[in-house]
Amino acid sequence: MRETLENMRDEAIDSVAKIDDLKQLDDLRRKYLGKKGELTKVLRGMGRLPAQERPIIGSLANEVRTLIQTQLDNQRERLEERALEDRLSREAIDVTMPGARIDRGNLHPLTSVQNEIVDIFIGMGFIAVEGPDVELDYYNFEALNIPKDHPARDIQDTFYINDEMVLRTHTSPVQVRVMEAEEPPIKIVVPGRVYRSDDVDATHSPIFHQIEGLVIDKNVTMADLKGALDVFAKELFGKDTKTRFRPHYFPFTEPSVEVDATCVTCGGDGCRICSNTGWIEILGAGMVHPNVLRYGNIDPSIYSGYAFGLGLDRIVNLKYGIDDIRLLYENDVRFLKQF
């Protein structure tokens, strides 16, 4: 049995040295050290040995097991290191080669123009605020002096969630919320998304964007409104831009006006875009109606104010010469890359 163990030891060491594959190495380990391996078979025959020889053979068997296991472990380490080196050499990266080009994103034209407009008004002392898209009927209509029978409240024009809640049709509800929460003077600009039940075409969308403005203080007049909007138009469209007011009607302002600016396409000379008038409508505005002030818990005998609202999508189209509002929502990268 001693001779068998010694021969097994020499044979195993020689076999391990010749192995160059991890799977073959595992097979060799099972052959000698597995439950049904050569060493196990020898140990099972130790019961037939004289009692005085068993410790000697047992000790030799342990030495053989330890030696074979050590040789197996060393060979495994060498094979794994070689496999790693081979893989690294195959996956080597030439750091001198140019990398793959990653296109940089840019702001959507709606976002960039909104930021520009908000920054203009912040420069005039306004504070930017936001409000909820899902709004109470009270704030969206009633508190803005829009009576129950007004056409704007028709289900054909408004997305009703229930009898008391709607998707806001304009950003004006934020005006009343701010008036309820703050004491004058108030000077805010309100950007946001709004919703109306419109069919999609080149100039209409059920989802679009507005920017609202509100100023309330003592002795605020139409002249203050005119001055602020004139500065705004010059900052946005160029220093030579002029503005004009035309009488209009809005239930939440009195008097109310629509505001035109010099056509950005022809500079006022007249073209197809401005119907040869030299003017383009850019927003609606007016002095805050006394009833709206009262809904906001502000005394109209002490305070006055003005408000204005512009369609951001329309301004973007004017600024960049876009003739179809749908282009702003189709997410065509070829279109967006132009901005």
Q: What is the pLDDT of residue 49?
A: 67
Q: What is the pLDDT of residue 46?
A: 67
Q: What is the pLDDT of residue 1?
A: 67
Q: What is the pLDDT of residue 256?
A: 96
Q: Are residues 247 and 113 in the same domain?
A: yes
Residue that is last in its domain, among 90, 117, 140? 90
Q: Are residues 114 and 68 in the same domain?
A: no
Taking each helix axis from N to C terminus, what angle separates 312-320 and 109-122, rounded to the nearest 10 degrees?
A: 100
Q: What is the pLDDT of residue 190?
A: 97
* CATH code for the domain in which residue 272 is found: 3.30.930.10
Residue that is last in its domain, among 56, 90, 124? 90
Residue 180 lies inside a defined structural domain of this protein: yes
Tens place of pLDDT per residue across the chain (339 aa): 667 777 777 777 788 788 888 888 888 788 777 777 777 777 766 666 677 677 777 777 778 778 888 888 888 888 888 888 888 888 877 778 887 888 778 899 999 999 999 999 999 999 999 999 999 999 999 999 998 887 777 777 899 999 899 999 999 999 999 999 999 999 999 999 999 988 888 888 999 999 999 999 999 999 999 999 999 999 999 999 999 999 999 999 999 999 999 998 888 888 888 889 999 999 999 999 999 999 999 999 999 999 999 999 999 998 998 989 999 999 888 888 888
Q: Are residues 120 and 80 in the same domain?
A: no
The residue range of the domain holding 57 is 2-90
Q: What is the pLDDT of residue 214?
A: 97
Q: Are residues 121 and 176 in the same domain?
A: yes
Q: Are residues 52 and 153 in the same domain?
A: no
- CA dist 305 and 301 (Å) reads 11
| DSSP category for residue 134 | E
Q: Are residues 17 and 136 in the same domain?
A: no
Domain count of the fold of the chain? 2
Q: Are residues 153 and 72 in the same domain?
A: no
- CA dist 314 and 110 (Å) reads 10
Four-residue CA torsion sign, 205, 148, 225, 211:
negative
CA distances (Å), 332 to each of 101, 314, 316, 335, in order? 20, 19, 16, 5
- CA dist 169 and 176 (Å) reads 14
Four-residue CA torsion sign, 67, 72, 76, 82:
positive
Residue 127 lies inside a defined structural domain of this protein: yes
Q: What is the pLDDT of residue 65?
A: 79
Q: Is this structure's pTM higher than 0.75?
A: no
